[in-house]
Amino acid sequence: MEYKENPIICNCMQVSLSDIDNALHQHEKFSSVEEEFKRVQEATHCSTGCGGCHDKVMDIISQMMNGMLH
Ligand code: FES
């Protein structure tokens, strides 16, 4: 997925919206938001610094899973 704007979501680890998208779409089937968060975190290391982006990342992942964010 291409984004016109690709904001940095996690400042600590410099993880952008498309990084999260790519990590999320490495597999076809989604499980829970928590599970997907773990996978995205492993792939991108987002939210492993100050943790301040945790809710934002969770929100983005759930929106992506629901096909609401394109
Ligand atoms: S902004 Fe993501 S861990 Fe600090």
| 50 CA: nearest ligand 1 atom | 4
Q: Round to whole Å and give the CA distance between 7 and 29.
A: 26
26 with 64: CB under 8 angstroms? no
The 10s digit of each residue's pLDDT in 23-69 is 999 877 888 999 999 999 999 999 999 999 999 999 999 999 988 76
Question: Rounded to two decimals, what is the model's pTM?
Answer: 0.89
- Give residues (CB < 6 A) around ligand 1: 10-13, 46-47, 49-53
pLDDT score at 69: 67
Give every CB contact of residue 42 below 8 A, 6+ residues apart in sequence.
none
The domains located in the chain, with CATH, are 8-65 (1.10.10)
Name the token pair of 1. 């997925």
9 with 55: CB under 8 angstroms? no
Q: Round to whole Å and give the CA distance between 33 and 47.
A: 15
The 10s digit of each residue's pLDDT in 1-22 is 566 789 999 999 999 999 999 9
Element (H, E) at 29: none
pLDDT score at 18: 95
